[in-house]
Amino acid sequence: MASEYDYKKIEKKWQDTWAASSAFKASDDSSKPKTYVLDMFPYPSGEGLHVGHPKGYIATDIYSRHMRMRGHNVLHPMGWDAFGLPAENFALKNKIHPRAAVEQNIANFKEQLAHIGFDYDWSREVNTTDPAFYKWTQWIFLQMFKKGLAYQSNEPINWCPSCMTGLANEDLDGDVCERCGTKVEKKSLPQWVLKITNYADRMLQDLDALQWPEYIKEAQRNWIGKSEGAELEFSISNSQFSIKVFTTRPDTLFGATYMVLAPEHPLVAQLQIENRAEVDSYVVASKAKTEIERGAAKDKTGVELKGIKAINPANKEEIPVFVADYVLWGYGTGAIMAVPAHDERDFEFAKKFNLPVREIELEDSKKIVEKVGGTWTVNYKLKDWVFSRQRYWGEPIPIIHCPKDGAVAVPEDQLPVLLPEVASYEPSGTGESPLATITEWVNTTCPTCGGPAKRETNTMPQWAGSSWYYLRFMDPHNTEALVDTKKEKYWAPVDVYVGGDHAVRHLIYARFWHKFLYDIGAVSTIEPFARLEFLGFILAEDGRKMSKRYGNVIDPTDVVVEHGADVFRLYEMFMGPFENTTAWNPASISGVGRFVERVWRVGTSDVLRTSDVLALDTLLEQTVKKVGDDIESFKFNTAVSQMMILLNAIEKEKMIGKGQWQKFLSILLPFAPHIASELAQVAGIDISAWPAVDTGKLVADTVVMGVQVNGKLRGSIELAPTASEKEAVAAAKNDPKIAKWLTGEPTKVVYVAGKILNLVV
């Protein structure tokens, strides 16, 4: 009689066993082939984990256990992305210091993760807020500064009036702040910017070699937005000024009938315009709109700059100049030559303002650019990365401002520049970080001249630490270098990277930093993540995103308490294809629970035989092969389904050979490690290695095939799967149950070897 499955006792037993033996600790000095499996590490929010978060973690756990069973030295670490707006906003809301909030939240996350049975190497845990970690984040910034890739700018940036900080384009969700949903404004502030555009071409070219989903690579291509064209200059009549435009269609130059400047274009303020008050009023109104609103507006608006004419360099024709908000300062040169016969937006504008629409014969682009003295160039939608945040909870930027020497790098032997402890860290709203008020921290001496100077008070964005953290897992305790060269060459690149929701931002930033680190010799590969698997979300039972606001959050700990960790793991993988978004279904998890209970009953009852059960041979080998292939290709749902089919067959036979049971538990182990380990111990078998497939047994010696007579099933026959049509018909005639329906020779035979035989009489 099978004993009852006490999953609480058994799961704790094995989790304690694995922890005590450091079962999942990776070795930096191994002759085994390496596999580096990594989750996009979480930021420890105050809400804790819901059941959607572990989906990717379970997948990497299955994959890493599988590779370890195949003889690989596996690195599967975990850490915390704990700087930035999410942590600071939570701390403000709950009136607690960000550091204390982060410590509490991390403890909560680790407690939740501990019950699921993950194979993380916790000896390599990292935290972006640890000075030992962010020392190297600051070090990377300094290398960029020394190479001219980090510079100061005062151009208009995205400003969130709620979060009271500047944001990069990548931090926006359309026209609002991605974090709080507030519409952003344009605001000029001194800020640090990173020249990510210097790497745009390389990031585009190297996408082709990556084993990433094509839609993710296309999202990156679109965000970088490379376009090749020409820069052309239109002089302004009776003025020393000229207007430079970028166009991908210089062949339409003769069709340009007017020009448009973005409201933010400096020339709008500099030109002697007759209707200055009207233009200024329009510019003010435009700045109140977001770029999304401006680009999507069907009714095009604008104001002609009275008294201003531009000269078409191709035909010397004077054409009017407008200011209109459908032209954006952040794209191209902030000015366009309008060709209404060849552009829909230009046509709509021309029709509204009664401007000429001129049909032309297209010119040869190389020739026309040369004729008017233009230059061929490349433009990008991607803009340099606004790197400053006017908040407290972030890495201090290691720069000192000296009245004499300007911006000076903090000497490397003085890193890390520690974030000072403060009682009040609320954002100032003035454009300065709260650090600016800490005079004893701000006031310092210049490393170059020794005179009085001030520290940079803006902090880095949340994306800083996450742009390189995967390297620190290779060598987390190194105090002398970002990563040891030998260890980096062994572990790099990340073999499989798993996560969601960062198709553009994090992945572009990390690829940029990595390529820079490659250029300075700090890493040996040109890309950080060789393979990317993107996961679909798990929605609440009501079909909405899980949130405390909706009251529909399901805590994974509650599920584990009710059903067990193995059931939770199997269910999340069985819900559907890994990349699909699905809704939580309590009825379905109960079905998976019954599967686990059935496995327990088989493993603790008198079914094991010394010799193999021949009837199970083919299905078992097919299952071993399919589960292995499915793990490799992240098709976990079909792997679970196949194991369920095999269990059905085992129960039908009411017996299984000990060697066959060993194979079954081995392939179950990555998915349900607790019950598989326990049953292996009960049976006295070793399941530490992935079982080899006996290819000779993949195809059955015989198959049972249904036989139809005139389209109706009349019986079945057993024969070789490769039997000929003649052999199949003969077998049908020799079966008494089928033969009685046959009168004479069949007039038609439909036969698919190993599957169906239909006889028409």
Q: What is the dihedral of CA 296, 299, 305, 307, to 10 degrees?
A: 150
And the tokens for 656? Answer: 């299984």
pLDDT band at 362 (very low <50, low <70, confident <90, very high): confident
- Name the architecture of domain 703-760: Roll (3.10)
Range 383-397 average pLDDT: 93
Write down the mean pLDDT value for the chain: 93
pLDDT at res. 93: 85
pLDDT band at 604 (very low <50, low <70, confident <90, very high): very high
Q: Are 401 and 454 in contact (CB under 8 A)?
A: yes
Backbone angles phi, psi at 741, to 5 degrees: -95, -5
> For residue 651, which of 681, 677, 619 has the smallest C-alpha distance?
619
- The hierarchical CATH code for the domain 226-380 is 3.90.740.10
pLDDT at res. 474: 98
And the tokens for 304? Answer: 């002609």
pLDDT at res. 2: 61
- Lowest mean pLDDT, pick from 268-282, 525-539, 687-701: 687-701
pLDDT at res. 721: 82
- Burial group, residue 711, by CB count within 10 angstroms (0-12, 13-18, 19+): exposed
User: Could you please report the per-residue DSSP string of 33-76?
Assistant: PEEEEEE-PPP--TT---TTTHHHHHHHHHHHHHHHHTT-EEE-
| Cα 361 to Cα 355: distance, rounded to the nearest angstrom | 19
Residue 205 has pLDDT above 50, yes or no: yes
Range 142-156 average pLDDT: 93
Helices 614-632 and 636-653 cross at an angle (nearest 10°) of 170
Name the CATH superfamily, with its identifier, for domain 556-697.
Isoleucyl-tRNA Synthetase; Domain 1 (1.10.730.10)
Range 426-436 average pLDDT: 82
Q: Tens digit of pLDDT for each residue in 312-351?
A: 999 999 999 999 998 988 778 999 999 999 889 899 999 9
Strands 156-160 and 185-188: antiparallel
Ordered by start, the domain boundaries in the chain are: 139-199+386-455, 226-380, 556-697, 703-760
Backbone angles phi, psi at 260, to 5 degrees: -135, 135
Range 593-610 average pLDDT: 95
| Rg from Cα positions in the chain | 33
pLDDT band at 84 (very low <50, low <70, confident <90, very high): confident
Q: Name the residue type at position 440.
A: E
Helices 7-20 and 673-683 cross at an angle (nearest 10°) of 90
Range 600-607 average pLDDT: 94
pLDDT at res. 432: 83
pLDDT at res. 471: 98
Question: 514: left (phi > 0), else alpha (psi -120 to 50), else beta?
Answer: alpha
Q: Tens digit of pLDDT for each residue in 32-66?
A: 999 999 999 998 988 889 999 999 999 999 999 99
What's the predicted TM-score (pTM) here? 0.86
pLDDT band at 1 (very low <50, low <70, confident <90, very high): very low
Residue 94 has pLDDT above 90, yes or no: no
> For residue 218, which of 507, 632, 581 has the smallest C-alpha distance?
507
pLDDT at res. 74: 98
**Residue 440 neighbours by CB distance under 10 Å:** 7
Range 606-616 average pLDDT: 93
Q: What is the DSSP letter of 421?
A: P
| Cα 541 to Cα 582: distance, rounded to the nearest angstrom | 9
Residue 658 has pLDDT above 60, yes or no: yes
pLDDT at res. 755: 83
pLDDT at res. 291: 72
| Cα 33 to Cα 179: distance, rounded to the nearest angstrom | 41
Pairwise pLDDT comparison (164 vs 347), residue with the higher score = 347
Number of H helices, E strands in the chain: 26, 33
